[in-house]
Amino acid sequence: MDDLQRLRESVLDANLELVRRGLVLYSFGNASGINRERGLVAIKPSGVDYDRMKAEDVVVTDMTGATVDGKLRPSSDLFTHIELYKAFPSIGGVVHTHSEYATSWAQAGLEIPAYGTTHADYFHGPVPVTEALTDEEVGEEYVLNTGLAITRRFRDIDPLAIPAVLVKGHAPFTWGKTPAEAAHNAVILEAVARMAYRTRLLDRECCGVSKHLLDRHYFRKHGANATYGQS
């Protein structure tokens, strides 16, 4: 199996993980992956049902968005994915869903506070929300501008330390070193968003974990001193 086929398989798997975890309705959502050496992005085709999607349906494009291989039209969110790959050299996979709790936070225009250790295990700080796009940005280059709004918001944030964002009035994007990790982070984000929603409704004044606890949990699972799992 060549590189491109492997990438397609991993992108298909990431898309199907979204279905298995109940994050998508009908054909909503999309996952992609990148081959940095060859400068190629593999992404879900637009509007195709998940239950009949095959690896060969995954569309391969170059970094300008031109299709290099595949018969179907790529996801309509392609240019957001490409912008994230350009701005975040450390990532290898991107996922977009309208998962319901994360989307509710995005619609409310509120960042998800770091209310607890579940959050801190994955996100080293609040999950940020972009600024609303201007009327001009919601034009011809809307999809690209969505990417730019995200990368602008991450100007001072390490994208691997907080591998998720809420696009205001829209929905979340997540990412990771691989398509599988991006999908995993989408699942975790939704669980964190559910718990944060309920925490906020229990007590609107609630202020989240301390910096020490945030660091302790985050670095338990990430970085050179991680102690979690078998390794």
201: Cβ contacts below 8 Å, ≥ 6 apart: none
Q: Which residue in 87, 71, 64 sits closest to 8, CA to CA? A: 71
> Does the protein bind a copy of itself through residue 227 (CB under 8 A)?
yes
Q: List residues bridging with 43 in a β-sheet.
A: 32, 59
Where helices occur in the chain by DSSP H, the ranges are: 3-20, 78-87, 100-108, 117-122, 142-153, 179-202, 211-221
Q: Which residue in 15, 47, 51 sits closest to 33, CA to CA? A: 15
Question: Between residue 35 and residue 64, which ones bind a copy of itself under the rule CB under 8 A?
Answer: 45-48
Q: Quick one: 139 or 223, whose CB is closer to a copy of itself?
A: 139
Q: Quick one: 39 or 139, whose CB is closer to a copy of itself?
A: 139
> Does the protein bind a copy of itself through residue 11 (CB under 8 A)?
no
Binding a copy of itself (rule: CB under 8 A), the pick from 110, 144, 148, 160 is 110
Q: Quick one: 25 or 63, whose CB is closer to a copy of itself?
A: 25
211: Cβ contacts below 8 Å, ≥ 6 apart: none
Strands 67-69 and 172-176: unpaired
Q: Quick one: 5 or 107, whose CB is closer to a copy of itself?
A: 107
The H or E element containing residue 61 is: strand 59-62
Backbone angles phi, psi at 97, to 5 degrees: -135, 170
* Residues making up the chain, counted from first to last: 231
- What character string, x for contact with a copy of itself (CB under 8 A) and - otherwise, covers 141-180? -x--------------------------xxx---------
Q: Is 142 a catalytic residue?
A: no
- What character string, x for contact with a copy of itself (CB under 8 A) and - otherwise, covers 63-92? ---------xx--x----------------
Would you list the DSSP string of 118-164? HHHHH-SS-B-BPPPPPTTTSSTTHHHHHHHHHHHHTTTS-TTTS-E
Stretch that binds a copy of itself, among 2-10, 35-43, 147-155, 211-219 (CB under 8 A): 211-219
The least distance separating a copy of itself from the CB of residue 198, rounded to whole angstroms, comes to: 4
Binding residues for a copy of itself, total number by CB under 8 A: 61
Q: Is 228 a catalytic residue?
A: yes
Binding a copy of itself (rule: CB under 8 A), the pick from 14, 31, 182, 187 is 187
Burial status of residue 79 (CB atoms within 10 A of its CB: 0-12, 13-18, 19 or more):
buried
Residues lying near a copy of itself in the complex (CB under 8 A) are found at 25-26, 28, 45-48, 72-73, 76, 98, 100-101, 103-110, 115-118, 132-133, 135, 138-139, 142, 169-171, 184, 187-188, 191, 194-203, 206, 208-210, 212-213, 216, 220, 227-231
Catalytic residues: 121, 228
